[in-house]
């Protein structure tokens, strides 16, 4: 069968291919940065004892641009090494025969089997071939497979070019860092020379100052020297690895275009009934389970049902036992509550009786106290009345005493008169005429 021989099976519904993710040779940049940082630190630690040497002076005594340039160079070199390792792992796959020359492409099932086999490989070439076969199986048209191959080729080329973007930027930045270090050194040298000229007194001092400036300029240009050397050492391996990767991608594209795409069957407009029936039968046989599988499934379902029934019975028994335990516990709790309530009621009744008796005793005691208080009050009222009478008598007695005192005073005044009256008196009767007429007689 030739490569262009048409078959009628390509227009029938295709078999489902295995999904194959796109693979590329991308290197994780964070890994390269981490390794470069460790390498930079180790390099400077190594040159710390060699600080007096020329290389030690170049790395340790030329400003801050030198460590940054070394770190960038290490990043590019580590990235290049990781890329080279990935390419070295992909190179043996180009020498293998992934699609035998006599492999039949007449039945879709054979193509699906080949696609599944290639999809299990992790190298780039079988991955690309599996993706092309998957596109053919999904569409049933070779033109779609050709478009998928071209799309994968352009995507791989774009991914490769994008993976080198950061390393290229770092390569451009290394010489710029050298120039920046040179400019900083020149600026410091000229500034120092200007300060020296202001304080110089004779020509000899000026000559010494010029010598120092030239020495400073030489030191400043060392940064550019180191940066250029590092950029060359990092750029040459990266260019070689990039060319190697482009060559690998070109070989993969050539293999797909020469060994795979021409062997795919060409589609026809018509439909072969016998072939369609065969494909349908194969699809049914593949999709539907066999009698043994169905019987096994029924046995599994029966076992599962029996297991579910046993579990349900065990669950019901456990639930009933727990309910019985709960009922018994509830009954015991109710009995305890009734007993506790009876004891509490008896205790409350006893306490009420004791309280009533105590209240009765207290009432009787208080009544006795009130009666005694009443008698005491009556006695005190009688005493008060007696006292009042006594006070009244005293008041009356006080008035009699005053009367007696007055009588004594009066008697004292009357005693001379009484004494005079007690003396013998002589009575002389005088008759007056007027008295005879008037009827009054003086004694």
What's residue 38's pLDDT? 92
Residues 326, 260, single domain; the answer is no
Helix 108-119 vs helix 124-139: crossing angle, to nearest 10: 150
Nearest to 104 by CA among 5, 6, 14, 1: 1
DSSP 14: P
* Residues 140, 144, 150, 153, CA torsion sign: negative
- Domain-ending residue, one of 339, 355, 382: 382
- Given a contact cutoff of 8 angstroms between Cβ atoms, the answer to whether 30 and 75 are in contact is no
The answer to whether position 387 is within a domain reads: no
187 vs 64: CA distance, rounded Å: 15
Residue 240: pLDDT above 90?
A: yes
> Which of the listed ranges 16-20, 71-75, 369-373, 378-382 does the model predict with the highest average pLDDT?
71-75
Counted domains in the chain: 2
Helix, strand, or coil (residue 6):
strand
The answer to whether position 178 is within a domain reads: yes
Residues 110, 217, single domain; the answer is yes
- Given a contact cutoff of 8 angstroms between Cβ atoms, the answer to whether 2 and 36 are in contact is no
Per-chain mean pLDDT for the chain: 77
Tokens of 373: 């208080």
What's residue 46's pLDDT? 82
The answer to whether position 299 is within a domain reads: no
Nearest to 74 by CA among 39, 45, 50: 39
- Domain-ending residue, one of 356, 382, 408: 382
284 vs 294: CA distance, rounded Å: 15
Residues 112, 250, single domain; the answer is yes
Q: Residue-wise over 200-214: b if at least 16 C-beta within 10 A, else e?
A: eeeeeeeeebeeebe
182 vs 204: CA distance, rounded Å: 28
How far is residue 157 CA from its own chain's centroid? Answer: 42
- Given a contact cutoff of 8 angstroms between Cβ atoms, the answer to whether 70 and 35 are in contact is no
Residues 319, 258, single domain; the answer is no
What's residue 442's pLDDT? 45
The answer to whether position 112 is within a domain reads: yes
Residues 102, 217, single domain; the answer is yes
> What does pTM read for this prediction?
0.51
Residues 82, 148, single domain; the answer is yes
Average pLDDT on 297-309 reads: 84
What's residue 236's pLDDT? 93
Count Cβ atoms below 10 Å from residue 45 Cβ, excluding itself: 9
Residues 247, 373, single domain; the answer is no
Residues 114, 177, single domain; the answer is yes
Residues 273, 204, single domain; the answer is yes
* Residues 306, 308, 311, 316, CA torsion sign: negative
DSSP 266: B
Residues 270, 324, single domain; the answer is no
Q: Which range marks the domain in which residue 103 is found?
A: 9-287
Residues 278, 319, single domain; the answer is no
The answer to whether position 186 is within a domain reads: yes
- Domain-ending residue, one of 236, 271, 287: 287
The answer to whether position 16 is within a domain reads: yes
- Given a contact cutoff of 8 angstroms between Cβ atoms, the answer to whether 126 and 256 are in contact is no
The answer to whether position 358 is within a domain reads: yes
The answer to whether position 87 is within a domain reads: yes
> Which of the listed ranges 19-23, 276-280, 340-344 does the model predict with the highest average pLDDT?
340-344
Residues 224, 368, single domain; the answer is no
């Amino acid at each position: 069968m030739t490569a262009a021989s048409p078959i009628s099976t390509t227009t029938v519904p295709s078999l489902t291919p295995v999904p194959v993710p796109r693979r590329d040779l991308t290197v994780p940049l964070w890994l390269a940065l981490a390794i470069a940082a460790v390498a930079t630190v180790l390099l400077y630690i190594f040159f710390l004892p060699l600080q007096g040497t020329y290389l030690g002076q170049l790395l340790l005594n030329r400003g801050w641009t030198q460590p940054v340039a070394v770190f960038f160079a290490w990043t590019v070199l580590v990235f290049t090494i990781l890329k080279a390792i990935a390419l070295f792992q992909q190179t043996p796959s180009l020498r293998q025969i992934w699609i035998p020359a006599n492999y039949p492409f007449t039945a879709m099932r054979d193509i699906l089997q080949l696609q599944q086999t290639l999809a299990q490989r992790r190298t780039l070439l079988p991955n690309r071939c599996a993706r092309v076969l998957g596109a053919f199986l999904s569409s049933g048209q070779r033109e779609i497979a050709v478009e998928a191959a071209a799309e994968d080729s352009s995507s791989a080329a774009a991914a490769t070019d994008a993976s080198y973007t950061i390393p290229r930027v770092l390569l451009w930045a290394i010489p710029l860092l050298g120039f920046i270090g040179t400019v900083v050194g020149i600026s410091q040298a000229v500034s120092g020379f200007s300060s020296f000229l202001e304080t110089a007194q004779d020509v000899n001092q000026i000559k010494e100052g010029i010598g120092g400036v030239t020495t400073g300029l030489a030191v400043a240009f060392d940064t550019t020297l180191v940066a250029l050397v590092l950029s060359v050492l990092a750029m040459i391996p990266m260019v070689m690895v990039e060319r190697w990767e482009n060559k690998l991608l070109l070989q993969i594209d050539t293999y797909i275009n020469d060994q795979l795409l021409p062997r795919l069957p060409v589609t026809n407009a018509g439909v072969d009934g016998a072939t369609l029936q065969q494909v349908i039968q194969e699809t049914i046989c593949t999709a539907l389970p066999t009698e043994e599988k169905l019987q096994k499934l029924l046995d599994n379902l029966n076992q599962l049902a029996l297991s579910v029934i046993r579990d349900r019975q065990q669950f019901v028994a456990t639930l009933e036992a727990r309910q019985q335990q709960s009922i018994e516990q509830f009954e015991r709790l109710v009995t305890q509550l009734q007993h506790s309530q009876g004891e509490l009621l008896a205790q409350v009744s006893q306490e009420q009786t004791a309280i009533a008796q105590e209240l009765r005793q207290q009432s009787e005691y208080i009544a006795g106290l009130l009666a005694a208080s009443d008698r005491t009050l009556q006695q005190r009222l009688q005493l008060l009345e007696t006292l009042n009478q006594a006070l009244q008598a005293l008041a009356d007695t006080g008035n009699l005493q005053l009367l007696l005192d007055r009588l004594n005073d009066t008697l004292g005044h009357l005693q001379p008169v009484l004494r005079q009256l007690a003396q013998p008196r002589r009575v002389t009767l005088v008759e007056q005429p007027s008295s005879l007429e008037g009827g009054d007689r003086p004694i």
